[in-house]
Amino acid sequence: MTRLQTTNSTLDITAIVANLKAYDIIAIAVILIIAVIIAKICTTFLKKKLSDRMEKSDLNVLNSIVWWSIILIGIFFASPHFKIDLSGLLVAGGILAVIIGFASQSVVSNFVSGIFLIIERPMKIGDNINIGDVTGNVEHIQILSTIVRTFEGIYVRVPNEKVFTSNIKNYVSNVARRFDYKIGISYRDDADRAVMIIRDIIEHEPFALKNPEPLVFVDKLGDSSVDLLIRIWAPSKEWYDLKMSLLVKIKTALEANGVEIPYPQQVVWVQQAKSAERGRGHEDNGR
Amino acid sequence: MIQFTVYGTYDYSCHIREDEISIDVESTSRYLTYRRVCRGESAERTIASEKGSIIINPVEPLNLPKKVTRYLEIHFNPIFVEPETTRQLYLTFPVEIGVFIRAKEDNDLLDVFSPVLPKYSLYGPPDYGRVTRWHESSIYPDVPKTDPLREGVLDLTLVNEGKTWIEVSRAVFVNAGMTIWYGDYVLMSAKMELYSNMVAETKILSTPGKNGMTRSIPAYSARKVSVVEMVPEKVVFLMEFGLGDKIADN
């Protein structure tokens, strides 16, 4: 049996073809056709199952990876029929792999992180998130990086490795979330009445959820005011709009009902005045 | 049967006044102008059409102030259902008023409004639960009197398939083409199969309304969502976070 030599990773293609017998050609063709059919079935299956769960671009990348992996496995199975001594190729391939591995460490890391992000799905396009010092809306989740548009409209590309290893705050991942207000009212005002007024305002807000029930209660007797704490649950997609609009409604309603929201204040006792008063008292006693 | 005044089909010159609602469609030289006022809020649309009709009917109450959910939750006083029995009762549900424009066999949703202030809630925990349009109802043995512009009647069949008593005080339905009928009142039918105090399955039925009732065009299909024709019975909602006030945390 003739063995083909590989020298410096260069294959003599003509020699390979010349040594192939009809049986080998048929076997190679059959194996590769089977590989193509399996790859087609797998990629079609992935398209059907994942097209509503993954970005089209990511799905295309995943499909390409699956396709070429199956084809490479097919080539691996067909390789005995090529009658190639793969040992030389393996050594050269190993050295090449080490070089490429060092050179593309971060690329591979980002790629693998991207795969895990696609599987784990801690966020999806349109979500309002915070990754490290970046806060904004997710524009794209790509295989190497995640694109975030900050609230100022700035484009930020975050490498997937950073996304994967950072704490991700997804503000809209849960269907509902809570937000709080702290409102101080004057010590002169009736706190129970203020609580009722605020409850009424919340009751008339469609997106202030009925359940979990909103809470309004006296939280603290502060230096300048009786502090009320208001806790409201809202649909995650609507909470910010509600938070922005509701506070002014509460303020307006409290003021309309004569409830004062006091400025920070401090009572100052002036010693001189007290001494003068005492002095006047002595004079009155003398008379 | 008395056809309720606001609901129905109108030509391009209509003027409707009812309670706190006014609807006007006026023709100018080139366009039609649709104007609506309800609860002090107004809407105006310009229509480029020569021949067609305006259809006003009750629609599923899941569109206002904006569409945030597909789930309707009705809360009522607790009712204890005997094991292995089927009971029918009537509840009320909120309605929104849909205005459709129709020409050349095609409907489109022109406007949705309601004199009822919507309120939303959460069924289940904040991470896995569902945001729901919330409505409080009494339980009625017969069809209750309602204001069709504000409320409809839900004909609910409760089926206790278990061998224990089950207490129910809420029902959550998913909107997959809610079949609403209107005549002298607004009607929707539903079924709730109770499996335990924590689990039930609900579905909206497309059961035809009483004689003379007209089937509403749902806002859902008029928006031309991908599912063109849905069979409500095929879409069930599994209430897995409890049937009463106590909600499972999961």
What six digits make up the tokens of B103? 């020409």
Chain A residue at shortest CA distance from B65: A206
B194 contacts: CB under 8 Å, gap ≥ 6: B81, B158, B159, B160, B161, B162, B166, B168, B200, B243
In this predicted structure, what is the pLDDT of residue A56? 72
In this predicted structure, what is the pLDDT of residue B226? 44
Taking only the tens place, the pLDDT of each residue in A9-28 is: 455 667 777 777 888 888 88
A249 contacts: CB under 8 Å, gap ≥ 6: A201, A205
Choice between B112 and A90, residue whose per-residue pLDDT is larger: B112
Residue B82 Cα to chain centre, angstroms: 29
Q: Does B118 touch chain A (CB under 8 A)?
A: yes
- pLDDT classification of A248: cutoffs 50, 70, 90: very high
Query: Which of A199, A209, A211 is the best residue to mutate to test the B interface, defined by the most B CB atoms within 10 Å of its own CB?
Result: A211
- B135 vs A contacts (CB less than 8 Å): none
In this predicted structure, what is the pLDDT of residue B250? 43
Rounded to a whole number of angstroms, the distance from the CA of B105 to the nearest CA of chain A is 32
The mean pLDDT value for A83-100 works out to: 76
Beta-carbon separation of A175 and B130 below 8 A? yes
Q: What is the mean pLDDT of chain A?
A: 84
Q: Please, which residues 188-217 of chain A have a Cβ atom closer than 8 Å to chain B?
A: 203-204, 206-207, 209-212
- pLDDT classification of A117: cutoffs 50, 70, 90: confident
Cα-Cα end-to-end distance for chain A: 139
Res. A8: pLDDT tops 70:
no
Taking only the tens place, the pLDDT of each residue in A173-195 is: 899 999 999 999 999 999 999 99
Concatenated DSSP letters of A197-218: HHHHHHHT-TTS-SSSPPEEEE
Across chain B, which has 250 residues, the per-10-residue mean pLDDT values are 70 86 86 90 90 91 92 95 94 95 88 94 92 96 93 95 91 87 92 92 85 85 49 78 69
- pLDDT classification of A5: cutoffs 50, 70, 90: very low
